[in-house]
Amino acid sequence: MNTETIRVYGADWCRDCRRTKQQLTELEVPFEYVDLENDPAAAERAREISGRTNIPVVVYPDGTHHVDPSNPRVEEKLRALSVI
């Protein structure tokens, strides 16, 4: 994984995953999307990162992560990282 890139673990059927992807796209923040439906092993990686089965799991370049974050939480983190 490129440690300078945000990684989003999610699934297309997940409304919150689609919302987070849309937010990052609208803010023009580069991110890598890992589709858990196409990569079942990634679901285990996401669970290991978060300790939970909830998605999306958003992993930031500084090694921190959010699980099923609200748009304001994502934006706050992006500002703290000086990404936006």
pLDDT, tens only, 26-79? 999 999 999 999 998 999 999 999 999 999 999 999 999 999 999 999 999 999
pTM given for the model: 0.94
Q: Where are the alpha helices (DSSP H) in 1-84?
A: 15-26, 40-50, 71-80
Please determine, for residue 1, whether its predicted confidence score (pLDDT) is greater than 70.
no
Structure token digits, residue 8 = 């989003």
Q: Which two tokens stand for residue 84?
A: 């936006």
Distance CA(75)–CA(65), nearest Å, equals 13
